[in-house]
Chain A
């Protein structure tokens, strides 16, 4: 069970230089503003932005969640610990953020319930920012999911977690290179020790407010043979649902015969993309 922290305001420790962000001089450095973090626990009646935490199992999503909200969602060193969504809130820089901790997933294409909960929230819950938590020690496998998230939404911040462990194993990840390749901010962190969280907060806020505009490099996943099919379906979807931001992805899933997307289309769930309406159905 979660409890609100007794502290109303906590300043985070200054991150070490290895985890410094890729830009910004000292004057506007995010670290200076980290003291603006207010952990709000479960007080989330009004919020300016909804942030989703997604990632492979056991990469530290719940640890990041707890560090930002001041809640104590149970964390454990094994994959599959979070099977339902947990929600909490924090205020940063005068804005209120609702944080949703999603179950770990290896893929958004699979059929298990916990992975579906994660996918449905990113797709239908329309979070303002999706934080993809990735394990730096197992980067390649974690990137599979990050790339799938980038197929669904533009507004992504990659939280490259467990950099301390990666270093222990002799692995260094070039976060700047990765950020350039992915087209979204990549923040190295070590959430267990609070390192890199100020930068993470800053990036989430910047993407949410539109200060940073993500330009993810989409890969050409479709073979040439299906291009006409895809463009036909995308056109139809756009006509029916003008607000649908990821028509191409939905079209691909329809072509792949994904039952749950077919179902969402049939019940009209695709039509109502207000975050609040969908969140209620998800938690029902």
Chain B
């Protein structure tokens, strides 16, 4: 963008400022307060003249009753948690069928067909590998894993938003934010973060105090974003749901995902509390939170806009990142140096470290490849696991993101890769607690204008992730 202007301030500017300062010293009383008083007085007067309440004013009893329940000290939190758990449960159980249908279409059918097309056109093996086995399969994976849960979750969330429930959530959380030393409006920016952390970071503009705004920016990453929901949902379904009878699997998985999301909220408070008592000390600002009236959601319009604007927008972003990521995965798995692929070297090198934290080298590499977008973590993990375990019967070999008909196959594959329940739990925890994606990091830099706070916001969750995973791994080892 251009410089604000090319012409410098006229010479009179300083003179005007000087006389303003001079006059200001001579004025008694608070000018600001006087002006505000005059405006408020006039507004009240105007409103009185214009408003009439003919007959009996219909009291908004419905809104009041609902507010009394939804923001009650006793019921506020249980209802909130239950509501979100139900949404996750609907998403998890509802997404299964369309997910496997998409996987069948894009991978079982589309992939061999495209492979054949490239081969019959006489393309060299590495072109076919890079484009079909790398870029196409990576993208196909992202679509089949992400589209169904998003298409179910977003409309439900948007309906709640349209209805007016979100400010009530903020109202419920306000007390906790205040106790942690953060601004109550942070509840709003956290809610935005549940959709996208970059959007959540921009939303912190509603917070006036720089100290509290920084707190909100640093802790926004603890709100699970779109890109991480599918990881949580898939791993919870495959590993934790499998621990219990099939009839309970959906409930247990939903509970696990809700638990991780709540842990994120808890950490938001704890980290906020810690920061506001150390490096970001200061008073908590007061503010007024307006509870808007409940409005009947416009269902069709909501479905349409959340599907077109939100779902397709997020999906598009995922695809844009999956294309190059697919190519990179294929490359690191197929470029061989000193007897092993690049990926192989890295995984062998970092595996001991990963295992110490209850993870493994594959997960660590996946998180490096997925820095641009969390959406591609699961596809990357699966592809790399195939390569390391050499389960050629399941997939199509090195660097190919392969087709899996069912969640059972994912489970078998990961178990063959040395995964235990601990690995699954820690992957869910690490998915919550690691560096933000590159878009969010860039947004944090733009909003704070400070490299230092950008680094803090990036590394703090990562360090926390390793600490938490190390703790669960230690406890696991003690118990087993």
Question: Chain A residues in contact with chain B, CB under 8 A?
Answer: 1-3, 57-58, 72, 74-80, 83-84, 103, 109-114, 117, 137, 139-141, 143-144, 146-148, 165, 168-175, 177-178, 181-182, 192, 219-223, 225-226, 229, 232-233, 236-237, 239-241, 251-252, 254-257, 262, 265-272, 277, 280-281, 283-284
Contact = CB atoms under 8 A, between A and B. Distances in A.
A268 B9 contact: yes
A77 B292 contact: yes
A247 to B, nearest CB: 10
B291 to A, nearest CB: 9
Contact of A3 (B29, B47, B308): B308
Nearest to A178: B50
A248 to B, nearest CB: 12
A191 to B, nearest CB: 12
B53 interface: yes
B316 to A, nearest CB: 9
B418 interface: no
B166 A221 contact: no
Interface stretch (B13-21, B420-428, B452-460): B13-21
Contacts of B309: 1-3, 72, 74
A280 B52 contact: no
B300 interface: no
Contacts of A284: 1-2
Most B-side CB within 10 Å, residue of A221, A252, A284: A221
Nearest to A217: B42
B74 interface: no
Interface of B: 1-2, 4-5, 7-10, 12-17, 19-20, 23-24, 26-29, 31-32, 34-36, 38-40, 42-44, 46-47, 49-60, 158, 161-164, 166-167, 170, 185, 188, 202-203, 205-208, 289-290, 292-293, 295, 298, 305, 308-310, 313
A143 B53 contact: no
B208 A111 contact: yes
Contact of A77 (B29, B34, B166): B166
A76 B162 contact: yes
Contacts of A270: 13
A219 B29 CA distance: 19
Contact of B50 (A111, A169, A181): A181
Contacts of A146: 43
Given A143-B47, A172-B52, A272 B5 contact: yes
A254 B20 contact: yes
A170 B55 contact: yes
Contact of B53 (A171, A178, A272): A171
A112 B206 contact: yes
Contacts of B5: 267-269, 271-272, 277, 281
Contact of B8 (A140, A262, A268): A268
A233 B23 contact: yes
B1 A283 contact: yes
B24 A240 contact: no
8 contacts: A113-B208, A143-B43, A174-B51, A177-B50, A220-B38, A226-B23, A277-B2, A281-B2
A103 to B, nearest CB: 8
A69 B295 CA distance: 23
B31 to A, nearest CB: 5
Given A109-B32, A270-B13, 6 more contacts: A112-B206, A240-B10, A254-B17, A256-B35, A271-B9, A271-B10
Contacts of B57: 169-171
Given A77-B161, A181-B49, A269-B4, A256 B13 contact: no
Contacts of A268: 4-5, 7-10, 13
Given A76-B166, A139-B47, A225 B27 contact: yes
A144 B288 CA distance: 15
B26 A178 contact: no
A281 B4 contact: yes
7 smallest beta-carbon distances between A and B, as pairs: A284-B1, A170-B57, A112-B208, A268-B9, A229-B23, A140-B47, A143-B43
Contacts of A2: 309
Contacts of A75: 162
A219 B39 CA distance: 8
A139 B203 contact: no
Given A77-B166, A143-B43, A171-B57, A265 B9 contact: yes
Contacts of B1: 280-281, 283-284
A207 to B, nearest CB: 20
Given A77-B162, A144-B40, A268-B9, A182 B292 contact: no
A172 B50 CA distance: 8
A18 B375 CA distance: 51
B126 to A, nearest CB: 36
B2 A173 contact: no
B23 A232 contact: yes
A173 B51 contact: yes
A256 B292 contact: no
A247 B59 CA distance: 45
Given A144-B40, A283-B1, A257 B24 contact: yes
A143 B290 contact: no
A80 B34 contact: no
Given A78-B166, A171-B53, A280-B2, A239 B12 contact: yes
A114 to B, nearest CB: 5
Contacts of B298: 192
Contacts of B313: 1
B31 A256 contact: yes
A171 B51 contact: yes
A229 B38 contact: no
Contacts of A178: 46, 49-50
Nearest to A230: B23
B43 A147 contact: yes
Contacts of A241: 10
A56 B139 CA distance: 43
B127 to A, nearest CB: 34
B295 A109 contact: no
A240 B16 CA distance: 9
Contacts of B17: 254, 262, 265-266
Contacts of B47: 139-140, 143
A147 B34 CA distance: 15
A278 B203 CA distance: 23
B480 to A, nearest CB: 47
Contacts of A170: 53-59
B35 A252 contact: yes
Nearest to A269: B4
A161 B163 CA distance: 18
A141 to B, nearest CB: 7
A80 B50 contact: no
Contacts of A140: 43-44, 46-47
A260 to B, nearest CB: 13
B142 to A, nearest CB: 19
B163 A77 contact: yes
